Structure 1
Amino acid sequence: MRKLMFALLGLLLAPVILAAPALDKLTLPKGFHIAVYSDAVPNAREMALGAKGTVFVGSNDAGKVYALTDSKGDGHADKVRVIASGLQLPVGVAFKNGDLYISAVSKILVLRDIENHLDNPPSPEVVFDKFPTDTHHGWKFIAFGPDNKLYVPIGAPCNICDKGQAYAKLTRMNADGSGLEDVAYGIRNTVGFTWRPGSGQLWFTDNGRDMMGDDMPSDELNKLSHVGEHFGFPYCHQGDTLDPEFGQGKNCKDYTPPVLKLGAHVASLGLRFYEGKQFPASYKGALFIAEHGSWNRSKKSGYRVMTVRLNGDKVASYEPLIEGFQQDEKAWGRPVDVQPLPDGSLLVSDDLAGAVYRVTYEKP
């Protein structure tokens, strides 16, 4: 019995060795190629691009934030630095005026002038420290909007609950942490938002609740039309389905429906509009969405990167860009975020494989 206990303890304490990304299992449209940008980023989550080309990556690995540099310009990060550690779930990163902002559950931190100090990073400064301390949906995707404000979500601290306007919302603040205000409500947990070039309108993903079966409710792609808009949670899901507990006496018509139902339990996370010139013209202005994949569905869904093409504010198509992160109900990768680069290629982070990939296009 003691031998068994020690053997189990040894397994628990043994270092986790990540399998090499199985890129040969991935499928992309004709002419597209995918390669490893870096496979040394454990639990890679949100990405942000620095002014000098540094790719910053948040994670939920030992509280670390990474900086990736491609000094040779060959499409591979030849240096991976840890620029912060010991933080609480620093999943979100946002770059502004030379500074890197980091989410850490209840706090927003900043690393000043970071690209000039990658080898000797400064200590994080606290910008704001009054967000809820709940870790259930407590890690945060963050981004600066065209109004120069930092947008920060506060996810519901539950699968399904009604906490009024204290949770399940999107907020924004000035870069110095002042002026916190609510932007939108009824958002269970957004782990991805971005602004459409030209209109400056905010678009975001939202994860649907669990425990309503394999096919209900759908994750959502939403757009914000005005400050104070309510997107339904916890009363109405996917724009047309009242919650069995909290929907009593409510009407889905009182809430903003999604632009697109993305599918149940796909775990839609990071998204970005594509404005590059490397991909075919049909991708200009399209949205790329990372779908992390289901955890409690009898048959897996998600585990892919999707393309949403728009005609005005209407969805024209919804189709895969990358598939194959799981085969036969076994996943080796889970996409988290997408980040276009200035050369028109696209980075994709994968927290399961601990990697960042680069997608390129060459005309066949």
Structure 2
Amino acid sequence: MRLLPIFVLIPLLAFSCGKINPPGPKLFKSSKLPVDKIQLPEGFEIEVYAEGVKNARSMDLSPDGTLFVGTRGEGKVYALKDTNGDGRPNQQYVLAAGLKMPNGVAFRDGDLYVAEVSRILRFPDIESRLDNPGEPEVVYDGYPTETHHGWKYIAFGPDGKLYVPVGAPCNICKSEKPVFASITRLNPDGTGMEVVQEGIRNTVGFTWHPETGELWFTDNGRDWMGDDQPYCELNRAPEDGLHFGYPYCHQGDLPDPEFGDTAPCSDFTPPAAKLGPHVAPLGLEFYTSKQFPEPYQGQIFVAEHGSWNRSEKIGYRVMMATLDGNEVVSYKPFAEGWLDKGEVWGRPVDIELLPDGSMLVSDDFADAIYRIYYNPKS
């Protein structure tokens, strides 16, 4: 019998909203992606965890092991399941298709929340309905409809509320609507939406310190100020109601050429670290497991999506920010090689930890998810 290749099966799945379950023990097995080019510290290894997850962006793992994956341009939301216990997903479901930039996914109390540009959707009791999720509930539909920086990363905070960013509707501008260039939050039922942090051009990744509960987030710097400025940012918010400078000040000390005369940089909260010009940091995660050696535990890992308008490309890697208390004392490459001799074959987007302590990294360019793990015998 002639089997259809995976690139044929996936479009068919978008129509049926069913599951892919081809013969063989694994759905995803890569022989094409050059993961041997990825450079890692001694003792670490990388493998393709899932391939053919088109435009894989934000991820969230349920306690029962379902990996939910959002997309941007693809307009789909996926669920991946390992049903045969071999450590890799062997079933892929398309939960929804035709959505508007459904980048953000967040799982809570059995329900899956999905962020479109202007609204938040909820799929109730999703894990019992993966093959037939039905129409989602609209939890909130009051976010702006502008698509410029309109795709959203979402996550539930320690307070049980859903945090939702709203990017600036431009490269550089001052909007009269305070909801732009902010991080908002709302209750799980969609009530109580409020702006929590301001002056944030475009964050597509945030998390909370596992001990202090403080919010940490990435922010993408503005374009068209040259190859080497401004730097993108890693930010820390020890309290609500802070302003991080946009559009007046970038990287904590660089006034904007158009808006910088309005307010000095000293008026705003500086970044915890300047990450590099145009590296496009997205997802980040504190390493809270024990599989990685002690120097990696408790540190922040950041996915750099990579520059799009720099004359010499930069980013396209996973970085590690080492902390001493709340101070970032170093920021160094952890996994790199998706940018190979000036050519790009992959772009890291988000980071998620598996229960065994290994790390998942999504890639919306190679349509893949990688697993990085520590092997002391390597």
- Structure 1 length as normaliser, TM-score? 0.93
CA distance in structure 2 between the partners assigned to 1:51 and 1:79 by the alignment: 17
Q: Are 2:190 and 1:177 aligned?
A: yes
8 Å CA contact 1:19–1:353 kept in 2: the answer is no
Whichever residue aligns with residue 372 of structure 2, its letter is V
1:53 to 61, 65, 89: 65
Partner of 1:8: none
Structure 1 residue 329: Cα displacement: 1.5
1:139 to 135, 151, 157: 151
Q: After the TM superposition, which residues 65-76 of structure 1 pair with which residues of structure 2 at under 5 Å, given as runs? A: 65-76=77-88
Q: After the TM superposition, which residues 194-273 of structure 1 pair with which residues of structure 2 at under 5 Å, given as runs? A: 194-273=207-286
Q: After the TM superposition, which residues 14-29 of structure 1 pair with which residues of structure 2 at under 5 Å, given as runs? A: 20-29=32-41
CA distance in structure 2 between the partners assigned to 1:276 and 1:156 by the alignment: 35
Q: How big is the alpha-carbon RMSD for the aligned residues of Structure 1 and Structure 2?
A: 1.2
Q: After the TM superposition, which residues 268-347 of structure 1 pair with which residues of structure 2 at under 5 Å, given as runs? A: 268-347=281-360
Q: Any idea what SS the aligned residue of 2:70 has?
A: strand
Task: Give the total of aligned pairs.
Answer: 347
Q: Any idea what SS the aligned residue of 2:282 has?
A: strand
| Deviates further, 152-161 or 74-83 | 74-83
Whichever residue aligns with residue 163 of structure 2, its letter is Y
8 Å CA contact 2:115–2:121 kept in 1: the answer is yes
Percent identity, aligned pairs only, is 59
Structure 1 residue 75: Cα displacement: 2.6
| Deviates further, 202-211 or 315-324 | 315-324
CA distance in structure 1 between the partners assigned to 2:31 and 2:273 by the alignment: 35
Q: Any idea what SS the aligned residue of 2:179 has?
A: coil
Partner of 2:25: none
Q: Any idea what SS the aligned residue of 2:59 has?
A: strand
Cα offsets for 1:93-125 (capped at 9, x unmatched): 001001010001001001111111112213111
Whichever residue aligns with residue 52 of structure 1, its letter is D
CA distance in structure 2 between the partners assigned to 1:57 and 1:166 by the alignment: 26
CA distance in structure 2 between the partners assigned to 1:71 and 1:280 by the alignment: 29
2:160 to 140, 145, 148: 148
Partner of 2:5: none
Cα offsets for 1:104-163 (capped at 9, x unmatched): 100100111111111221311100001000000000000000000000001000000001
1:162 to 167, 174, 180: 174
Structure 1 residue 73: Cα displacement: 2.9
Cα offsets for 1:187-215 (capped at 9, x unmatched): 00000000010100000000000000001
CA distance in structure 1 between the partners assigned to 2:172 and 2:273 by the alignment: 21
Partner of 1:5: none
- Pair 232,116 (structure 1): closer, same or farther in 2 beyond 3 Å: same
Partner of 2:199: 186
8 Å CA contact 2:53–2:368 kept in 1: the answer is yes
Structure 1 residue 286: Cα displacement: 0.7
Q: Are 2:111 and 1:99 aligned?
A: yes
Partner of 2:53: 41
Structure 1 residue 72: Cα displacement: 2.7
CA distance in structure 2 between the partners assigned to 1:73 and 1:311 by the alignment: 38
8 Å CA contact 2:304–2:348 kept in 1: the answer is yes
CA distance in structure 2 between the partners assigned to 1:119 and 1:61 by the alignment: 23
| Deviates further, 182-191 or 241-250 | 241-250
Partner of 1:30: 42
CA distance in structure 1 between the partners assigned to 2:73 and 2:290 by the alignment: 34
Structure 1 residue 249: Cα displacement: 3.6
**Runs ≥4 in structure 1, deviation > 4 angstroms?**
none
Structure 1 residue 61: Cα displacement: 4.3
Partner of 1:113: 125
CA distance in structure 1 between the partners assigned to 2:175 and 2:73 by the alignment: 29
- Structure 2 length as normaliser, TM-score? 0.90
Structure 1: gaps of 5 or more residues: 1-17
CA distance in structure 2 between the partners assigned to 1:187 and 1:265 by the alignment: 15
Structure 1 residue 321: Cα displacement: 1.3
8 Å CA contact 1:274–1:287 kept in 2: the answer is yes
CA distance in structure 1 between the partners assigned to 2:334 and 2:280 by the alignment: 16
- Pair 19,89 (structure 1): closer, same or farther in 2 beyond 3 Å: farther
- Pair 321,72 (structure 1): closer, same or farther in 2 beyond 3 Å: farther
CA distance in structure 2 between the partners assigned to 1:194 and 1:143 by the alignment: 8
